Amino acid sequence: MQKPPVRKYQVVEEAEIDLVLQCRDSREFYERYLTVFSDTKKGLDSISKIWKRRSEFAKKRQLTLPAAETGTKSAHEIAALIAEQTKIMGVISALTRENFEVNRQILATLTQQNQILTGHSEHTVREPPKESLHHAPAVPHPMREIASEVQTPILVGS
- Residue 11 above 80 pLDDT? no
The 3-state secondary structure of 67-101 reads HHHHCCCCHHHHHHHHHHHHHHHHHHHHHHHHHHH
What is the value of pTM for the model shown? Answer: 0.35
- Which pLDDT score is estimated for 53? 86
> How far is C-alpha 10 from the geometric centre of its chain's CA atoms?
39
Distance in angstroms (rounded) separating the CA atoms of residues 62 and 58: 6
Average pLDDT (51-64) is: 79
Q: Grade residue 96 by pLDDT with cuts at 50, 70 and 90.
A: very high
Q: Which helix (H) or strand (E) holds 19?
A: helix 14-22
Q: Which pairs count as long-range contacts for 99-106, CB under 8 Å and 24+ apart, including other chains?
A: 104/128
pLDDT category at 128 given cuts 50, 70, 90 is low
**pLDDT beyond 80 at 2:** no
Q: Which of 2-6, 13-17, 138-142 has the highest mean pLDDT?
A: 13-17
Q: In angstroms, how far is CA 47 from the centroid of its own chain?
A: 32
